[in-house]
Structure 1
Amino acid sequence: MNITADRLGSAIATLPWRVPLADWPRELLVGLPRGISRHVVRFVELAGVVVAVKETEDPIAEREHDLLQVLSQLDAPAVAPLGYITGRCTPDGERLPGALLTPHLRYSLPYRALFSQDLAAAVARRLVDALAVLLVRLHLAGFFWGDVSLSNALFRRDADAFAAYLVDAETGELHAQLSDGQREHDLELARTNIAGDFLDLQAGGLVDASVDPLAVSNRLLERYRELWQELTGPEEFSMDDRWRVDDRVRRLNDIGFDLGELTVTTDLDGVTTRIEPKVVEPGHHTRRLRRLTGIGAQDNQARRMLNDLDSYRMATGRTDEDEHDSAMAWMSDVYRPVLDAVPVEYADRLEPAQLFHEFLDHRWYLSENAGHDVSTPEAVRSYVDTVLPAHPREEAYLREPSTGALQTLRTADPDSPGTP
């Protein structure tokens, strides 16, 4: 018997692998809600970690483990792989299926458990909306699911919505990029399977009769296509419409996605800008901004600055220039001039990263109202005159407890890591 596990190896080795999973002693098992599965699935606790064990054939267990591992590296919303077991057999030599091990996704539930708590039709809409986002993210990562259904996902409550995670990758395939035909095939499978899921729920009395299974499955397709168009639909802008680039980026941010890159192309009508959005992992912006500029900022602040940096590269024809060189030019031409333009009496109103973030918002609103790009100097004057004076002083929050030193806009070293 071969045991491959990334961690908890010694604890995993003590489990009764020579016994079919359905016959494991009850004292080993953890009582958690299980979704409908074609396989036997059980939960066990090992060294404080709850692990899901799924019986499946040896090559399938190994392949699914490898798929989940790649999806984890791509930061796709899926359960993480822990290990897989092959070569199992009983003491009498009878062959047993292999097994896939994944840590239990904390605070997640299968869809049937959610409906046992709440029969409202709104739950159905929120679940398929979450599944649509999951499917879009998987497709952007080049993952063809092959068996899209509510049964093959787990759901976490997320404020008034849900977040969905892939839990069964057995039928999946990874590609560099999916074709339209592959995506449409996944959608057709989703239409059929989700309608079946809701018919099953209605048969069990878990969903109101007012919920139309076909309408719910069609909603998934509609939400998916809306998201896919917003994320990948070609949109081009002239060089004079930089504020429209910001508007597109804001729409992407509103649905939880971020700008991947800007591609500048030249045609007979002049220079145009094409946007290609992509998903990035949490904390990406903070790390990228610090690497490029040395500025320390929260992730949302960093995202806004990086969006402006990318727009600056487009507007100044620096898209083919080394990224670090462009960042230094942006620091010199945009970031530092904005901070240096703030009068001394306002220097302690906001920390630098937040001030610059607000300035960018202010410049965007001015440009939107004007219908054209408002220059940075003009936007700075407006921000200093009309917005900054209304902010209370925040120096008490910026003071270092041990030294009493103030981190001000003018004394900070912008090239020092972690210092705006």
Structure 2
Amino acid sequence: MSGSLNITSATADPALLDLPWNVPLDAWPNENIASLPKGLSRHLVRFAHLSGRVVAIKETTSEMAKREYEMLRTLQSLEIPCVEPLAVITNRTDEDGDPLNSVLVTRHLKFSLPYRALYSQALRPDTATRLVDALALLLVRVHMVGLFWGDVSLSNTLFRRDAGAFAAYLVDAETGQLYPGGLSNGQRENDLEIARVNIAGELMDLEAGGRVADELDPVNVSNGIVAAYRLLWKELTGSESFASSERWRITERVERLNHLGFDIEELAIKTDEFGTTVRIQPKVVDAGHHQRRLLRLTGLDAEENQARRLLNDLDSYGVAYGNPDADEEMMAHEWLVRVFEPVVRAIPRELKGKLEPAEVFHQLLDHRWYMAQNANRDIPLAEAVTSYVQDVLRHRRDEATVIDPATTPIDVQEPDDEDIDADEVGADADDWRLNV
């Protein structure tokens, strides 16, 4: 390696020095490259193996790489869903001493995919709508912390499955600008218009390539982000007035926000001079209501909709088997040990990269419910797991990291299908009906 290479990194990983930084990124050897689906980008982006994980490497200018690295670190500290920045590499030169572009290194987000990889043949309207709804929620969250994104698009976002919906993660932050005092309405509307135009263009591009269903209207779908954003923004930040006799509406407002996945840190409540009208307005709203409760009770880290689904199942288990004297934490531990963990252990090792555990459990609940409807009887959990693994999960593509097979096979002992039995998934959980 020639030249005085500079590496700025939040985590000390000596393996960074082993990558061929003296070679242009588009000429890196196959042994370093991981084959993952990627979205459109104005910069050259490649995925590489690093210390047993996959990282994304983007070529850009030194200033832009440093700026985006710091912006992503700031967004992480603000708990905004985004990719994790690992390092900035500057002062790259080739073997002849000629300068090479600087790069930004980020950790690949497991079980995430660009929007172009979320459909197998033609993008359906309902899938496109769910993607846009997820992006609208992400845009609301970044605006609430005062970030003007500047380049909102499906291409600059990664998506993870979230119990029938999607969770969106910000990928490209190079155009972002943080305003600690908050954004003006004009700035928010500007970002929203950028999103609408970009999404319409991206979907029209797919349409021109015959990659969308005939009934999908790119303009209608892109307009959907405007409607979804404004409804959510109003619910999270708007004030509300009602008669003092309707004070139950305060609790109703809080419950609506909790259902959307947000917690209220502070609620401003005012009455008029006659005490007949009450006005309320959320002051600070934090996302992840169900995520935090699930993490507190079980230690499981899941997306918001997944967490809501798992908590519903946990609560149903508590109703069916709960000891009135047992506290919530004890019941959650029992559910975790007797229901969730046995199901996850029952998934054959070669299929564990298909979906993350929380998504597997969510889909299993759906699968068990449909089995029960078709058979007109309760389905034991062990039977549902066996059916789901063989009929659904085995036929999905891996989404942990969609990469080519390893060149050197690994000899591992896989569990047989008959290992999935009532003893493994918890016999005591078989005679209660899951809440779906």
TM class, shorter-length: 0.5 to 0.7
Q: Per-residue displacement from partner, 1:214-240 (whole Å, max 9, x unpaired)?
A: 111101101111100111111245665
Task: From 63, 69, 75, give the equivalent of 1:65.
Answer: 69
SS at match of 2:166: strand
Question: Which runs of 5 or more residues in structure 2 are unaligned?
Answer: 300-321, 331-436
Counterpart for residue 234 of structure 2: 229
Structure 1 counterpart SS, 2:120: helix
| Structure 2: distance between partners of 1:64 and 1:247 | 40
Residues 265 and 274 in structure 1, CA contact (< 8 A), matched pair in contact too: yes
Q: Which amino acid aligns with 2:168?
A: A
Which residue in 1 is equivalent to 2:429? Answer: none
Q: Deviations over 1:103-149 (max 9, x none)?
A: 10001111111133553221111111111111111111111110011
- Where do residues 18-417 of structure 1 align in structure 2 (5 Å cutoff)? 18-117=22-121, 119-176=123-180, 177-236=182-241, 241-265=246-270, 267-270=272-275, 272=278, 274-276=280-282, 277-280=284-287, 349-353=324-328
CA deviation after TM superposition for structure 1 residue 2, in Å: 1.1
How far does residue 15 in structure 1 lie from its aligned partner after superposition? Answer: 1.0
RMSD over aligned Cα atoms: 2.7
C-alpha separation in 2, matches of 1:352 and 1:107: 34
- The worse-fitting range, judged by mean Cα deviation, of 277-286 and 241-250 is 277-286
What SS is found at the alignment partner of 1:81? strand
The alignment partner of 1:55 has SS state of strand
CA deviation profile, 1:282-310 (whole Å, cap 9, x unmatched): 689669xxxxxxxx8679xxxxxxxxxxx
Contact kept in structure 2, 1:147 and 1:190, CA below 8 Å: yes
- Relative contact order higher in (CA < 8 Å, ≥ 6 apart): 2
Change (3 A) 1:39 1:174: same
The match for 1:12 is 16
TM-score, structure 1 as length reference: 0.67
* Cα pair 2:258 2:289 within 8 Å, conserved: no
Displacement after TM superposition at 1:88 (Å): 1.5
Percent same amino acid among aligned pairs?
51
1:354 & 1:247 partners in 2: Cα distance?
Answer: 26
Separation (CA, whole Å) in 1 of partners of 2:201 and 2:73: 30
Question: Any idea what the Cα deviations from partners look like across 1:83-105, whole Å, max 9, x if unmatched?
Answer: 11112122323221111111100
Mapped to 1, the partners of 2:290 and 2:214 lie a distance apart of 43
User: For 1:240 and 1:87, how far apart are their aligned partners in 2?
Assistant: 68
| Higher-Rg member (1/2) | 1
Within 1, Cα distance between the matches of 2:238 and 2:286?
Answer: 15
**Per the alignment, in what secondary structure is the counterpart of residue 195 of structure 1?**
helix
Q: TM-score scaled by structure 2?
A: 0.64
CA distance in 1: counterparts of 2:74 and 2:17, whole angstroms: 25
Instruction: Give the aligned length.
Output: 302
**C-alpha distance 118-350 of structure 1, shift in aligned 2 (>3 A):** farther
Q: Give the whole-Å Cα distance in 2 for the aligned partners of 1:285 and 1:160.
A: 20
Residue 210 of structure 1 aligns with an amino acid whose one-letter code is: E
Question: Which runs of 5 or more structure 1 residues have no equivalent in the other structure?
Answer: 288-295, 300-346, 356-420
Query: Which letter maps to 2:98?
Result: E
Corresponding residue SS for 2:73: helix
Alignment check: 8 A CA contact 2:262 2:288 kept: no
